[in-house]
Amino acid sequence: MGKNLYHKVFDRHSVGRLSSGQYQLFIGLHLIHEVTSPQAFSLLKQRGLKVRFPERTFATVDHIIPTETRERQRPLRDSLAEEMLVAIEENTKANGISFFGEESGNQGVVHIIGPELGLTQPGQTIACGDSHTSTHGAFGSLAFGIGTSQVADILATQTMSMSKLKVRRINVTGKLRPGLYAKDVILAIINKLGVNGGVGYAYEYSGPVIEAFSMEERMTLCNMSIEGGARIGYVNPDETTFAYLKGRKHSPKGADWDKALAYWKSIASDPDAGYDDVVELDGSALEPFVTWGITPGQSLTVTQSIPAAETFPADEQPLIREAMEYMSLEAGQPIAGIPIDVVFIGSCTNGRLSDFQEVARLVKGRKVSPRVKALVVPGSREVQRQAEALGLKEIFVEAGFQWREPGCSMCLAMNPDKLEGRQMCASTSNRNFKGRQGSSSGRTLLMSPAMAAAAAIEGKVADSRVVFGYAKETV
Ligand code: SF4
């Protein structure tokens, strides 16, 4: 029997077996940001250790950075944010680490700049002190979100300890209908398997729908693997992957490219590879998904109504009731029509150029509802540059959206972009936990950029296929 990508890459990077039975895994690429790295550098200092491989470590600032130009002036108005920014500037300088800060022209959300700079490559082991590091699995890498103490471990040793995962292959068959996106596919997978369904697993995404996805769509998909409980998610590298990487700043060049290509092709799962589990999802049957609750698994299609708690297994009912109460929703209420106060289009899930191209195409010539505050936040300076060169900024501004500077913005709201009070937000990000967007009572509905655009125009949850006039027979 052949091997799957997970085992090939894991075995190649395993440099030791610990007495606990865990493996010591060499980490090829370590991405750091301002929130989870200061404490790790302090730990290193306390122990008199140096960064083992500064050339394999890359830093950016994303979570705390304001997205309004006037608020980006130094020092930042928020003294804690300024402290974190100063810490990463000083720590990277002192340790010879590349820092993609404001002056670099490449600042952005860590999971957006890694791929766009060509740092993220197939067959790598990648770690970052952020849950959504799974994004990088889109390239056929094993990409782990880690905690602060592990950030310190990797800074000091370039390795981390871990047990082997099981591998579940998720095969998405058929062809997505118009108005359906990678976001709908991952929300459907989480809905089907549950937010804990992936615990102990790596998810390998495969099938015609995934193969037809662009790299940006694959990143959206892998980004939310963690929301389904999986430790990592990945897609086998193919011609789409190689074409994306060719010519990027940190991609291999010349003879190194040929060598890398041979390696990248060799680590894809063998046709006769074995899996611990295989799940099928019919992509042709999908409809736009929206979350209604306080976990990314509490979701339904835009044509459905809030389910009654009694329709869930007894052990899930308390959480369903808690979600309904927090969200102020009632069983039987259609999800379409729920009033929206704020729309956030951005984040490491859906803050890439293709997301903005699609939304701009849809909203061109339309107006954001007067009841809605709508933010479009590029995931990186490069995304912003490209979008502006294509004239997308003008389309958004004309439609009534705010066009912001790159950063995490309202995804986690560790910056001035926050919900207020009970505001209901249609968000293209990845988490709808209680208080996630900066208000302890704020409410988040996760959806695709097209669905968020429809919510912005209508001022309520609406079927983007109807709002934007996709072929009627597809609705
Ligand atoms: S956009 Fe959101 S999920 Fe992604 S890195 Fe920033 S805060 Fe984390």
pLDDT tens digits along 64-123: 999 998 889 999 999 999 999 999 999 999 999 999 999 999 999 999 999 999 999 999
Residues 244 and 377 in one domain: no
**CA separation (Å) from 352 to 25, 271, 386?**
31, 32, 10
Domain count, the chain: 3
The per-residue pLDDT for 470 is 76
Residues 175 and 237 in one domain: yes
Residues 240 and 310 in one domain: no
pLDDT grade for 279, boundaries at 50, 70 and 90: very high
Task: Give me the CATH number covering residue 9.
Answer: 3.30.499.10
Q: Ligand 1: which atom is nearest the Cα of residue 379?
A: 1
Residues 21 and 93 in one domain: yes
Tokens (6 digits) for 372: 């809605």
Q: How confident is the prediction for the chain on average, in pLDDT?
A: 97
**CA separation (Å) from 11 to 165, 261, 263, 271?**
12, 19, 14, 19
**CA-nearest residue, atom 6 of ligand 1:** 408
Enclosing domain of residue 350: 289-474
Residues 231 and 322 in one domain: no
The C-alpha atoms of residue 389 and residue 176 are separated, in whole angstroms, by: 30
348 Cα to the center of ligand 1, angstroms = 6
Average pLDDT over residues 307-320: 96
The C-alpha atoms of residue 115 and residue 154 are separated, in whole angstroms, by: 20
Residues 281 and 264 in one domain: yes
Residues 158 and 181 in one domain: no
Q: Which of 35, 65, 113, 132 to mutate to test the pocket of ligand 1 (most atoms within 8 A of CB)?
A: 132
Residues 43 and 148 in one domain: yes
Say whether pLDDT at 48 is over 80.
yes
Residues 337 and 449 in one domain: yes
The per-residue pLDDT for 475 is 33
Does residue 132 line the site of ligand 1, with CB under 6 A? yes
- Sequence-separated (6 or more) residues with CB below 8 Å from residue 114: 29, 31, 58, 120, 126, 136
Q: Which of 219, 380, 429 to mutate to test the pocket of ligand 1 (most atoms within 8 A of CB)?
A: 429
Residues 271 and 191 in one domain: yes
Does residue 32 line the site of ligand 1, with CB under 6 A? no
Distance from CA of residue 192 to its chain's centroid?
A: 19
Residues 25 and 61 in one domain: yes
Token pair 């804990």 is at which residue?
196
Residues 329 and 432 in one domain: yes
